[in-house]
Amino acid sequence: YASSVTAAPRTAFVHLFEWKWEDIAQECETFLGPKGFAAVQVSPPTKSHNAGAWWSRYQPVSYSFEGRSGSRGQFQDMVQRCKNVGVDIYVDAVINHMAAYDRNFPEVPYGPNDFNSCTSDIDYGNRWQVQNCDLVGLNDLKTGSEYVRQKIADYMNDAISMGVAGFRIDAAKHIPAGDIAAIKGKLNGNPYIFQEVIGAPGEPVRPTEYTYIGDVTEFEFARKLGPAFRDSNIAWLRDLGNQMELSSADAVTFVTNHDEERHNPGGPIWHGVQGDGYFLANVFALAYPYGYPKIMSGYYFNGDFDAGPPSSGVHTGNACGFDGGNWVCEHKWRGIANMVGFRNHTAGEWSITNWWQGGNDQIAFGRGGLGFVVINKRYGSSINQSFDTGMPDGQYCNIIEANFDESTGQCNAAADSSGQSVITVSGGQANFTVGGDQAAAIHVG
Ligand code: LM2
Ligand code: CA
């Protein structure tokens, strides 16, 4: 791949949920690096409660790097190989709690005095309970204590020493912001931090309390985006960024995440396994100038909440879902993967220009002459018209239908595509033909 992909900033990342370290290393080299992904959020790397369910990973029993995704050596190899192709690794750091049941974790070591003592259910209207009681029965660490802070920082510094560039702070709402700040103060270097704070109306702990430490998840973005695409009511999304509690520079966005696709598949944060609407919502999230988008990449679980990952690896037998395998690989869906490049190449113009809407279900907008996207959420009805794109004249590859090969300069239509591969802009105008439930997108670079 030619330099222009790597020269553009990298502005979106992917959660490779439950992927093995070896598979992630290979994915960085063969796909994520070339496509311009900034980073991978990996599943919690520590030794955890030994159960088959995916959620056992959220019950650490020690801070040693060993578990279902691989060994410490494999982890280290992944970090280096991904870094070599420009892709950072973000560790999902489970630091609010340890596993349920026992308050002795000799490998850290933690003993009973290192935990808070409130074991009752949490009343989310009560700040003290949210931050000091056991979350779903998980032993709540005394993050106010110097000893616990140092143990957590030692773990994170161990990751940093292996080249880890950032962290997702799991259950951050359940940790006082001051405690996270104190832990961050003990870290080497300046790792990227984003904190999982699920804002909810009426709750006392607000996402904005955490922005002085690092980025924060903006759940409202997903809660509004999902229903808009599900209900084909997308024109109002032009104003979405203005309706958020967090400012763009502080927000991590997503269309769904590993919890939401399981806990509440029909709910406001949309279940991501199938459907053009879900695909189009991801296209929108990557085109829209708000936040730092994370793409969820998971596996089929047939409504089985507990189901752990498919037993065969992504690169060993069971391939990605579109080949009939068990891993969905949403990040490899052509339009989603190529929209990462769109976001990277449009990062210099953080505004919406050339807005168009046809009813509530068809929209198009530009990014200040660096990119232009058309989204048609009207089933069975094409858009056929000329748009004022604001783009420099020339020929562009429609990255939803085709892949641009930088080494040859060719725009290669995908085998399964019947849409336009090439869009010609002349005098700023371009004709687009976009089928129902489809999109088109062009960008500079
Ligand atoms: C998170 N963010 O704040 C993670 O994104 C989420 O996936 C984690 O919950 C949670 N916080 C704790 O890290 C998951 C899962 C829970 C599961 C926990 C712990 O959603 O269902 O709880 O991990 O493994 C499980 C059982 C639950 C039980 C608990 C303790 O499902 O019924 O509660 O273990 O034994 C008694
Ligand atoms: Ca806590």
Question: Are 269 and 188 within one domain?
Answer: yes
Closest CA to 272 of 325, 230, 307: 230
Q: Which atom of ligand 1 lies at the shortest distance from residue 196's CA?
A: 3
3-state secondary structure 153-209: HHHHHHHHHCCCCEEEECCHHHCCHHHHHHHHCCCCCCCEEEECCCCCCCCCCCHHH
Question: Are 357 and 329 within one domain?
Answer: no
Complex ipTM value: 0.96
Reported as a single tens digit per residue, the pLDDT across 221-247 is 999 999 999 999 999 999 999 999 999
Proportion of the chain above pLDDT 90, given as a percent = 87
CA atoms of 278 and 296, how far apart (whole Å):
11
Question: Are 144 and 23 within one domain?
Answer: yes
Neighbours of 362 (CB within 10 A): 21
Question: Are 265 and 380 within one domain?
Answer: no
The number of domains in the chain is 2
Proportion of the chain above pLDDT 70, given as a percent = 97
> Is the pLDDT higher at 317 or at 143?
143
Domain extent at residue 435: 353-443
Closest CA to 341 of 13, 2, 8, 1: 8
Pocket of ligand 1 (CB under 6 A): 55-56, 58-59, 94, 100, 135-138, 170-171, 196, 259
CB 429 within 8 A of CB 371: no
Q: Which atom of ligand 1 lies at the shortest distance from residue 97's CA?
A: 13
Reported as a single tens digit per residue, the pLDDT across 169-208 is 999 999 999 999 999 999 999 999 999 999 999 999 999 9
CA atoms of 158 and 354, how far apart (whole Å):
48
Q: How far is the CA of 132 from the centre of ligand 2 (A)?
A: 5
Which of 58, 92, 122, 124 to mutate to test ligand 1, by most ligand atoms within 8 A of the CB atom? 58
For residue 390, the domain's CATH number is: 2.60.40.1180
Question: Are 298 and 370 within one domain?
Answer: no
Phi and psi for 23 in degrees, rounded to 5? -70, -40
Give me 318's structure tokens. Answer: 């069971």
Question: Are 321 and 393 within one domain?
Answer: no
pLDDT reported for residue 272: 65
pTM, full prediction: 0.96
Phi and psi for 39 in degrees, rounded to 5? -165, 165
Q: Which atom of ligand 1 lies at the shortest distance from residue 135's CA?
A: 12
Query: Where is the domain boundary, 346, 361, 392?
Result: 346
- pLDDT for 50 beyond 50: yes
For residue 166, the domain's CATH number is: 3.20.20.80
Query: Where is the domain boundary, 346, 361, 387?
Result: 346
3-class SS at 58? helix
Compute the chain's Rg from CA coordinates: 22
Active site residues: 170, 196
Give me the chain's average pLDDT, please: 94
C-alpha dist (Å) from residue 281 to 53, 79, 104, 167, 284: 29, 30, 45, 26, 5
Q: Whose CA is nearest to atom 34 of ligand 1?
A: 136
CB 403 within 8 A of CB 334: yes
Give me 242's structure tokens. Answer: 């203005």
CA atoms of 402 and 439, how far apart (whole Å):
12
Q: Which ligand is nearest to the CA of 118?
A: 2
Least confident of 25-29, 306-310, 311-315, 410-414: 311-315
Q: How far is the CA of 362 from the centre of ligand 2 (A)?
A: 44
Question: Are 119 and 237 within one domain?
Answer: yes
pLDDT reported for residue 18: 96
Question: Are 294 and 406 within one domain?
Answer: no
Query: Where is the domain boundary, 346, 361, 395?
Result: 346
